Amino acid sequence: MDWTLVLPVGFAALFALFMFGVPVFVAFFLINIVGTWVLIGTRGFGMFANSIFETTTSVPLVTIPLFILLGEILFRSGTMDVLFNAVDKLTGRVRGRQYLVVINLSVLLGALSGAGMAVAAMMGRSVLPIMVSRGYDKTMSSGLILGGCSLAPIIPPSILVIIIGTLSDTSIAALLVAGIIPGILLALMFIAYVYGRLSLRRERYDDRVDPSSLGEKGRAVLQILPFTLIIFSVMGFILMGIATPTEAAATGVGAAVLAAAFNRCLNFAMIRDSLVSAAGISAMILVIMASSKMFTQLLAYTGATRGVIEAVTATSLDPSVMFLLMMLAPFILCMFVDQIALMLVVIPVYAPLLPILGFDPVWFWTIFLLNITVGGITPPFGYALFALKGSTDLLSTAVVFRSAWPVVLIFLIAMTLLWAVPRLITFLPSLL
C-alpha cells in the first residue's frame, strides 16, 4: 500500500480518536492493531508483542516512574506548603512581591517536578486567592501562573524530555541539562515583563507584609535546604558525571523522602498513595510509549519514513524555512492534542530529517519542547488554560484566555532568541 495514502489516513484516524475523547493509550493501541492487521496480517502481531516487551523493559524509561514518584511524594506530603512559606519570607518587601513569589516558586517547582498541570492547579488554589485578596491584577496574576507552570516541563527533571530523548534516540542527560538556561532565561523575561508592566501603570494593591526577622529568614533558608538537596541529587549528579539520569532520578526520590521527613510530613499512608498513583501514571505512559514504537515501525514498513525523507530532500526550501514549518505544525496541534500524544506522532517523522537539514538534535528538541509547552497555554484550546480555570472560581474563561497572550509572546521571543543563539542551549550539554 502506498505510503502517501497510509500516512494521512493513519494520522487522520488517530487525531479523530483523540477528538472523540478516546484515551491516548487506547487510541494508539487501536491504530496499531488495525494497522498491523491491514498492512502485515496476523503474522505482524508477534512483532507487536515484541515491540511492547522491548519498550517496557527499556532501562532509560525507568527514569519516568522515578520522576513521577518524586513529584507525587512532594505534592502529597504537603512539603510544597513549606516551600511556599519559605519563598514568601525570603522574597522580602519589594514592589509587586507576589508576582515575584509566583516566578521564584515556579522556578523551584520546575526544578523539583516536571508536572506543569499540578503546578498550575496548586498555585491556582493557593497563591491566586492571596493575590486577588491583596488587590493584584487578576489577568496578570493568572498569566504569570500559566507562565510559571510552563517552566516545569522545561527545567529538569522533565518527563517530557525523557520521552523526547527515548523516541528520538538523543542523549537524555544532554536534553535534561539543555533546559536549564532556557528555563532561567524565561524566568528573567517574566520578571522583566512584571516590572515593565508596573512601570507603565500604577497598580493599587496591598503589598504590606510583616517584616521577617533575621531568625525567621534563617529558618526559611533551612526549610529550603532539603529542596536544594533534591535538585543537586538530580541535576548536580548528572552534570558532575556521577550518575546517569536513571540513577539521578533514584537519588532524587531518596532526597524527596528525606525532605518530607525533615519537614515532619513523612508517613506510611503518604508513601503508599504516592506509590499507587505513580504506578498508575507510569503504566499508562509506558503503554503509550510501547504503542508509539510500533507506530514508528509501521511507518517504516509502509515506506512512509523513507518517503518523507526523500520528499524533504527533493525540496529546495531553506533549512530555516523548514525549521519554521516543523515548529508551526506542533504549535497549532498542541492547542487541541495532549503533549505526549503529539510527541509520539511527530517525533518519529521529524527525527530522520534532522541530519539531512543539519540541525543539532539537542538544540532542535529543546526548542521543540518549548514549542509544545507554549501550545498548551495558547487560547482557545490550550489544556493548561482549563487546568487553571478548573482550580479556582475567581477567574472567568475570558480572563484566563486574555492573561495567556503576553506569556505566549514571551515564549515566542525566547524561542526566536534560542534559534538565533544556539549556544544558549548547547553550552551546558557540551560540558558533559
Greatest mean pLDDT range, 166-180, 258-272, 335-349, 368-382: 166-180
CA distance 130 to 122: 13
Helices 339-350 and 361-375: crossing angle in degrees, nearest 10, is 150
CA distance linking residue 116 with residue 306, whole number of Å: 35
Spatial distance between the Cα atoms of 386 and 153, rounded to a whole number of angstroms: 18
Burial class (CB in 10 A: 0-12, 13-18, 19+), 420: exposed
Residue ranges of alpha helices (H) inside 57-96 are 63-76, 79-91
Region 94-103: what's the mean pLDDT? 78
Q: Which among 100, 113, 192, 206 has a CA at the least distance from the CA of 157?
A: 113
Write down the mean pLDDT value for the chain.
79
Q: Which of 228, 239, 226 is nearest to 179 (CA)?
A: 239
Q: Give Cα 10 to chain centroid, integer Å.
A: 26
Q: How far apart are CA 96 and CA 317, in angstroms?
A: 47
377 in Cβ contact with 404 (< 8 Å): yes
Q: 319: part of which helix (H) or strand (E)?
A: helix 319-333
Q: Are 194 and 203 in contact (CB under 8 A)?
A: no
* Residue 301 CB neighbour total at 10 angstroms: 18
* CA 141 to each of CA 15, 97, 193, 354: distance values in angstroms, whole numbers, following the listed order: 34, 11, 12, 39
pLDDT at 117: 64
* pLDDT (0 to 100) of residue 2: 62
Per-residue pLDDT at 109: 73
Higher per-residue pLDDT: 431 or 205: 431
Distance of CA 186 to the CA centre of its chain: 14
Would you say residue 211 has pLDDT above 60? no
Please tell me the predicted confidence (pLDDT) of residue 412. Answer: 93
pLDDT at 74 over 90: no
Nearest to 263 by CA among 318, 208, 226: 226
CA 322 to chain centre: 24
Per-residue pLDDT averaged across 170-182, rounded?
90
- Residue-level pLDDT at 221: 78
Q: How buried is residue 376: exposed, middle or buried, by Cβ count under 10 Å (0-12/13-18/19+)?
A: buried
Residues 16-62: pLDDT tens digits? 776 777 776 777 778 777 877 777 777 767 766 776 777 677 777 78
Neighbours of 71 (CB within 10 A): 26
For residues 105 and 145, the answer to whether their CB atoms sit within 8 Å is no
Cα atoms in the 13 Å half-sphere on the side-chain side of 255: 25
- Residues near 107 by Cβ (< 8 Å), separated by ≥ 6? 148, 151, 155, 183, 184, 187
pLDDT at 360 over 90: yes
- The 10s digit of each residue's pLDDT in 110-134 is 777 666 666 776 777 777 887 787 7
The stretch 177-194 carries a mean pLDDT of: 91
The model carries a pTM of 0.77
Cell numbers found for residue 73: 511524594
Chain position carrying cell 510583616: 210
pLDDT tens profile 283-326: 877 777 776 667 666 766 776 666 666 666 666 678 888 898 88
Of the candidates 146, 148, 76, the one whose C-alpha atom is nearest the C-alpha of residue 110 is 148
Give CA angle at 153 (150, 156), nearest 5°.
130
What integer pLDDT is reported at residue 127 of this predicted model?
76
* Residue 132 · residue 205 · CB < 8 Å: no
